[in-house]
């Protein structure tokens, strides 16, 4: 199998991050697996038969600059370069605006936004100086980058901010051969989205079951973005369960 390059996936211990990491490994990429828990990252690696030689497991708190610096130092020591970052780590806090604690607000912002920035910054620094130079950053946005769900002010604010992060990285990366795009995902069936099948609050105030899609279809979309040459970029793509109540009036 041809070597595709070196990728970093954050939040690789479960859900979308795990599905994308496994798809990259299957396609011949070497993959740095980052997340809070080394044991779940190791479980991801074990799910691919010959992954040991092509994986780096690094427990990382993306909200902490020193932890992110350690991650990129390990990537440099192990692989010598980075061709792809899938900026995926994220969390949520469900509460009405007047009930959300400052601690929960800060936690969501520090992981979803500051963490994405720190990882993008580390990737940018490596990609602009390596030879051959350049690479690709794919940020995990969300349907919430377009429209909020009830009681999701922290999550929605960070995902709108990810769009600004993506656009700035895309602009500033041009002269360094760094492409940056965003994938906005709706109702991929992960543990975080499992509640969709039992019912979630709607804008009308009702609670309704929503359609979901297989997480592997998200991975297929990321793989398409990752497969393009650096002079071509998918700036923004939305992949969603077809019948979810997002377009129009639901």
Q: Which residues are catalytic?
A: 155
Given a contact cutoff of 8 angstroms between Cβ atoms, the answer to whether 152 and 94 are in contact is yes
Q: Which long-range contacts (CB under 8 A, 24 or more apart) does 95-101 make?
A: 95/151, 95/153, 96/151, 97/153, 100/153, 100/154
Angle between helix 102-109 and 153-173 (nearest 10): 30
C-beta neighbour count of 175 within 10 angstroms: 8
Query: What does the angle CA 233 – CA 236 – CA 242 come to, to the nearest 5 degrees?
Result: 125
**Structure-token match 């030689």, residue found:** 53
């Amino acid at each position: 199998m041809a070597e595709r390059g070196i990728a970093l996936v954050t939040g690789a211990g479960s859900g979308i991050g795990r599905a994308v990491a496994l798809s990259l490994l299957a396609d011949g990429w070497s993959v740095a697996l980052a997340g809070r828990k080394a044991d779940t990252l190791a479980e991801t690696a074990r799910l691919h038969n010959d992954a040991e030689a092509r994986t780096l497991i690094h427990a990382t708190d993306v909200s902490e600059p020193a932890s992110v610096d350690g991650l990129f130092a390990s990537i440099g020591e192990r692989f010598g370069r980075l061709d792809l970052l899938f900026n995926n780590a994220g969390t949520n806090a469900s509460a009405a605006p007047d009930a959300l604690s400052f601690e929960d607000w800060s936690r969501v912002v520090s992981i979803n936004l500051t963490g994405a920035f720190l990882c993008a910054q580390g990737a940018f620094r490596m990609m602009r100086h390596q030879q051959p130079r350049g690479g690709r950053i794919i940020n995990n946005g969300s349907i919430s980058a377009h429209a909020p769900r009830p009681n999701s002010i922290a999550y929605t604010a960070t995902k709108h901010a990810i769009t600004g992060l993506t656009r700035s990285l895309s602009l500033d990366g041009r002269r360094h051969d760094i492409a940056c795009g965003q994938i906005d995902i709706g109702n991929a069936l992960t543990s975080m989205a499992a509640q969709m099948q039992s019912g979630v609050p709607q804008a009308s105030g009702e609670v309704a079951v929503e359609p979901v899609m297989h997480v592997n279809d998200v991975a297929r979309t990321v793989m398409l973005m990752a497969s393009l040459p650096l002079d071509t970029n998918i700036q923004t793509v939305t992949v969603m369960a077809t019948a979810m109540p997002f377009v129009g009036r639901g």
